[in-house]
Amino acid sequence: MTPQARFTPGTFTPAPGRGKLSRMFLAQSRMEILLTLRHGEQILLTVIIPVALLVALTLMTVIPMPDPRVGSATARVFALAILSSAFTGQAIALGFDRRYGILKRLASAQPRWLLVTGRVTAALAVVAIQIVILGGTALALGWRPPASGIAWAVLLIILGTLTFGALGVLLGGALRAEIVLALANIVWFVLLLIGGLALGVDSLPSGVAAVVQLLPSAALAEGLHAAVVNGTGPGIGPVLVLLAWGIGAAAVASKTTKLD
Amino acid sequence: MTPQSVTSAVEVSGLVKRYGATVAVDGLDLTLRTGSVLALLGPNGAGKTSTVEVCEGFRTADEGTVRVLGLDPRTQGEQLRPRIGVMPQGGGGYPGVRADELLTLIATCSANPLDPAWLLDVLGLTGAVRTPYKRLSGGQQQRLSLACALVGRPELVFLDEPTAGMDPQARRLVWELINALRRDGVSVLLTTHLIDEAEELADHVVIVDSGRVVAQGSPQELTADEPDDQQLRFRTRHGLDTSLLLAALPEGLRVREPSAGSYLVEGRITPQVVSTVTSWCAQQGVLAEELMVAKRSLEDVFLELTGRELRG
């Protein structure tokens, strides 16, 4: 093919125009969900460890747990699952996305808010999958959630996802990809051990417990406990903690997040 | 302001951009006429990318005004975005995305996109459509980035070092494509440090150094033949004593050996001068190879203006 024939006249004649926002939103959300699920290495943190912890806490009676064991354990592993995917998974993904330049590419084609909503949708979708897997396992272990608590649980799960998502963006949007990778995993580990997840807040000495209760992980676990064990609302404390962390993180992230 | 009334696709006036204490762009003016190709040519660190990023709306100017298609890229970015195509330095993609997925995603952001499959094929990416982005070669990532910039049928494209990391075939292809863009009425602002690229593609070349314009014009204007500033080059054995040659030549000519075996006679070159040089070679018992009389090349102009020292 001669050079002239390869690009026939009129091939690139300008015809600009913005695509339909609804189509863009669906396409972007679908892409983010697909890519998140492709990160196979995350499955250890997001599914395998929470399931293992659920089983261990429920069945290993040497570990002190409030009764019913399976209900208390479910609340905590739900919180752990959200921490894993909405915070650690999203932070690492954002760090490497920035490194590979996708944010600039998307920002030149879409409004900024679409970048955010795409990631939020993906985070919620992944959390939904985790809840189904963990919830199914819990039901198999004898969990019988009170009906009155289900709506509260859903609300808390959404709030928790948004809060940890904002924290994930804060971390992933500001630092170098390798540092994000390390810190996101370290924070996950620390919160698992002393953030009110593996060990309940009640098992900690009172001074430490007072501090830990202000962490979003403990607040989420505590709130979910009220919902899935007692069937009641979470009380104002945990909700305020989650809102404070979420809004604070979002506000700072809007200033510190870089496209590359 | 209707698009038709804007004759300049890009107008930059007095642009200043600082990063902390560093002044990356120091009072830069340029104008890109609609439907033409402008090459921003300069060494690394000259401020090319900063200038382009301000035009694209990714960075804010500290001083000066920038108008892209008549709009302010900072405050009117929403309006501007569908009308321009952007190819940032180093491309851009999700690490795990496939080429066809990424281009299709970008295509949904436009009302009248080009066919992604055709565009990938024309850019030689069909064999790599299912490869994850992080496993594509640098050249493939660049070509995909170019595809993303063009898929929305923009009126104006910003290409930041568009052929970086490409092999000669891919580079030729991109040059053809840019010529096709101009033919179809798309305005192109590209940055490069490749002089042959600027010479080949640009209607207007703007040479920048240290954040300022040091020369601009068409490639022909920049290398205009000044009768007293021609060159006669030839290659022969190195280290010859040129004092005899200098004595034999008319007044005002200069002779030097810029690199081993490569000789340069500068000044007003006449047939007499050519004859004198070849006679001298014969006297010395050496053969003059690759003897040619030429005006200055754009490379000479560039190196003269920006210096021959390496930029860190």
Of residues B84 and A231, the one with the higher pLDDT is B84
A219 and A242 in contact (C-beta within 8 Å)?
yes
| pLDDT-derived band at B50, boundaries 50, 70, 90 | very high
Among A12, A90, A102, A180, most B C-beta atoms within 10 A, so best to mutate, is A12
Q: For residue A122, which residues of chain B lie inside 8 Å, CB to CB?
A: none
**Contact criterion met (CB < 8 Å) for A14 and B153:** yes
Minimum CA–CA partner of A97 in chain B: B94
- Quickly list DSSP for B83-144: GEEEE-TT--B-TT-BHHHHHHHHHTTBSS---HHHHHHHTT-GGGTTSBGGGS-HHHHHHH
Sheet architecture: strand order including B37-41: B84-87, B156-160, B187-192, B37-41, B204-209, B212-217
**Contact criterion met (CB < 8 Å) for A109 and B109:** yes
Which residues of A, range 74-133, sit inside 8 Å of B by Cβ? 96-97, 99-105, 107-111
Q: Residue A258 and residue B195: Cα distance in Å, rounded?
A: 33
- Identity of the amino acid at B107: A
pLDDT digits (tens, 9 = 90+) for B172-218: 999 999 999 999 999 999 999 899 999 999 999 999 999 999 999 99
Chain B nearest-CA distance from A35, in A, is 7
Q: Looking at residue A5, what is its pLDDT? A: 61
CA dihedral for B71, B155, B110, B56, sign (positive or negative): negative
Structure-token pair, residue A133: 């897997």
CA dihedral for A10, A12, A16, A17, sign (positive or negative): positive
Cβ-nearest to A7 among B96, B153, B180: B180
Rounded to the nearest integer, the mean pLDDT of chain B is 91
Spacing of C-alpha B70 from chain mean position: 24
Q: What's the pTM? A: 0.85
B97 touches A: beta carbon within 8 Å: yes
Structure-token pair, residue A208: 């430490």
Chain B nearest-CA distance from A49, in A, is 24
**Contact criterion met (CB < 8 Å) for A109 and B152:** yes
Sheet architecture: strand order including B254-259: B254-259, B262-267, B230-235, B289-294
Minimum CA–CA partner of B83 in chain A: A16
Question: Residue A89 carries which DSSP code?
Answer: I
| pLDDT-derived band at A140, boundaries 50, 70, 90 | very high
B154 touches A: beta carbon within 8 Å: yes
pLDDT at position B84 over 90: yes
pLDDT digits (tens, 9 = 90+) for B271-310: 999 999 999 999 999 999 889 887 777 888 888 888 877 6
**Contact criterion met (CB < 8 Å) for A109 and B112:** no
Which residues of A, range 126-185, sit inside 8 Å of B by Cβ? none
Minimum CA–CA partner of A18 in chain B: B110
Averaged pLDDT, B91-107: 94
Q: SS3 helix, strand, coil % of chain A, rounded to 5?
A: 75, 0, 25
Among B108, B121, B136, B200, most A C-beta atoms within 10 A, so best to mutate, is B108
Q: For residue B183, which residues of chain A lie inside 8 Å, CB to CB?
A: 9
Q: Residue A81 and residue A75: Cα distance in Å, rounded?
A: 10
Q: Looking at residue B106, what is its pLDDT? A: 96
| pLDDT-derived band at B89, boundaries 50, 70, 90 | confident
pLDDT digits (tens, 9 = 90+) for A7-38: 889 999 999 999 999 999 999 999 999 998 88
B256 touches A: beta carbon within 8 Å: no
Q: Is the peptide bond before A68 cis (omega within 30 degrees of 0)?
A: yes
Decide: helix, strand or coil at residue B189.
strand
Chain A nearest-CA distance from B16, in A, is 21
Of residues A191 and A43, the one with the higher pLDDT is A191
Of residues B2 and B311, the one with the higher pLDDT is B311
Which stretch of A53-57, A248-252, B155-159, B223-227 has the lowest confidence by average pLDDT? B223-227
Q: For residue A12, which residues of chain B lie inside 8 Å, CB to CB?
A: 114, 150, 153, 180-181, 184, 186
Cβ-nearest to B110 among A11, A17, A104: A17
Q: For residue A100, which residues of chain B lie inside 8 Å, CB to CB?
A: 92-95, 133-134
**Contact criterion met (CB < 8 Å) for A100 and B134:** yes
Q: Looking at residue A1, what is its pLDDT? A: 46
| pLDDT-derived band at A127, boundaries 50, 70, 90 | very high
Cβ-nearest to A18 among B82, B101, B149: B82
- Identity of the amino acid at B263: Y
Q: Residue B303 and residue B172: Cα distance in Å, rounded?
A: 24
pLDDT at position B1 over 60: no
Among B80, B84, B94, most A C-beta atoms within 10 A, so best to mutate, is B94
Chain A nearest-CA distance from B248, in A, is 49
Q: Looking at residue B95, what is its pLDDT? A: 93
- Nearest-CA neighbor of A93 among A157, A184, A163? A184
pLDDT digits (tens, 9 = 90+) for B213-267: 999 999 888 887 677 778 898 999 988 888 889 999 988 899 988 888 889 998 8
Rounded to the nearest integer, the mean pLDDT of chain A is 91
Q: Residue A92 and residue A75: Cα distance in Å, rounded?
A: 25
Averaged pLDDT, B130-154: 94
**Contact criterion met (CB < 8 Å) for B97 and A35:** yes
Averaged pLDDT, B123-151: 94
> Residue with structure tokens 């819990």?
A138
- Nearest-CA neighbor of B30 among B213, B257, B165? B213
A11 touches B: beta carbon within 8 Å: yes
Q: Looking at residue B312, what is its pLDDT? A: 57
Q: For residue A25, which residues of chain B lie inside 8 Å, CB to CB?
A: none
pLDDT at position B18 over 90: yes
| pLDDT-derived band at A184, boundaries 50, 70, 90 | very high
pLDDT at position A249 over 60: yes
Q: For residue B106, which residues of chain A lie inside 8 Å, CB to CB?
A: 105, 109
